[in-house]
Structure 1
Amino acid sequence: MTRAAAAVRPLVLMYHGVGTRTARRDPFCLFVPPDTLHRQLRGLLDRGWTPLTLGRYLRGDFPARSVLVTFDDGYRALLDEGVPVLRGLGFPATAFVLGGMFGATSTWMADMPDEPLLDADGVRALADAGLDVECHGWDHTDLVNADAATLTRQLGRAAAVLADITGRRARAFAYPYGAHDADARRAVAEAGFSLAFSVHDGAGRYAVPRVDINATETDATFRLKTWRGYPTARRMSGAVPSLRPALHALIGHAHRP
Structure 2
Amino acid sequence: MKLKRTFLVLTSLLILGGFALGLLTIRWYNSYFPSLHRAVPALVQAIALDKSPSVYYGLKPTPTEPAGVYYRDRVLVLMYHDVSPEPKDGKSLSVANFRKQLELMKANNFKWITMSEYRDFILHSTHVPDNAVLLTFDDGYESLYSQAYPLLKQYGAPSAAFLIVGKVGDDKGAFPKADWEQVKEMQQGGVEFFSHTFDSHHYAPTAPGNEELKPLLAKPKYLKKEKRLETEEEYEWRVTEDLRKANEVLQAELGTPNYALAFPYGAYSQAALDICKRLGIDITFTVRSGLNAAGQTNGFRLNAGGMDNDPALQVELMKKAEKRLQTAYSPFLSPIARKSVFMILAAAWLVVGLLWLRTGWRLLQGRRRNVGL
Partner residue of 1:17 out of 75, 82, 86: 82
Q: Does 1:92 align with 2:158?
A: yes
Letter in 2 for 1:176: P
- 5 Å-filtered alignment, 1:100-111, equals 100-105=166-171
CA distance in structure 2 between the aligned counterparts of 1:9 and 1:186, rounded to whole angstroms: 25
Query: Which position in structure 1 is the counterpart of 2:324?
Result: 230
Of 194-203 and 139-148, the range deviating more from structure 2: 194-203
- Say which SS state the counterpart of residue 257 (structure 2) adopts: coil
Name the TM-score, length of structure 2 as normaliser.
0.55
CA distance in structure 1 between the aligned counterparts of 2:184 and 2:311, rounded to whole angstroms: 33
Q: Contact (CA 8 Å) 1:211, 1:231: kept in 2 or not?
A: no
- Say which SS state the counterpart of residue 134 (structure 1) adopts: strand
- 5 Å-filtered alignment, 1:140-179, equals 140-141=201-202, 142=215, 143-146=217-220, 147-179=235-267
Query: Which position in structure 2 is the counterpart of 1:133?
Result: 193
- 5 Å-filtered alignment, 1:1-257, equals 8-23=73-88, 26=89, 29-60=90-121, 61-105=127-171, 113-139=173-199, 140-141=201-202, 142=215, 143-146=217-220, 147-200=235-288, 205-214=296-305, 215-226=307-318, 227-228=320-321, 229-232=323-326
Query: Which position in structure 2 is the counterpart of 1:249?
Result: none
Q: Contact (CA 8 Å) 2:166, 2:246: kept in 1 or not?
A: yes
Identity across the alignment (%)? 27
Deviation string, structure 1 residues 36-61 (Cα, Å, up to 9, x no partner):
11110121111111100111112223
Deviation string, structure 1 residues 85-137 (Cα, Å, up to 9, x no partner):
0000001100111111111157xxxxxx4310112222212212210111110
Q: How many pairs does the alignment contain? A: 222
RMSD of aligned residue pairs (Cα, Å): 2.5
Of 133-142 and 70-79, the range deviating more from structure 2: 133-142
* Bigger helix share: 2
Query: Which position in structure 1 is the counterpart of 2:365?
Result: none
Name the TM-score, length of structure 1 as normaliser.
0.78
Letter in 1 for 2:326: T
- Say which SS state the counterpart of residue 77 (structure 2) adopts: strand
CA distance in structure 2 between the aligned counterparts of 1:178 and 1:21, rounded to whole angstroms: 27
Tell me: CA distance 1:68–1:20, structure 2 relative to 1, closer, same or farther (3 Å).
Answer: same
- Say which SS state the counterpart of residue 178 (structure 2) adopts: coil
Unaligned runs of 5+ in 1: 1-6, 107-112, 239-257
Deviation string, structure 1 residues 156-188 (Cα, Å, up to 9, x no partner):
111111111111111211001111121111111
Tell me: CA distance 1:150–1:231, structure 2 relative to 1, closer, same or farther (3 Å).
Answer: farther
CA distance in structure 2 between the aligned counterparts of 1:16 and 1:101, rounded to whole angstroms: 15
CA distance in structure 2 between the aligned counterparts of 1:177 and 1:132, rounded to whole angstroms: 21
- Say which SS state the counterpart of residue 197 (structure 2) adopts: coil
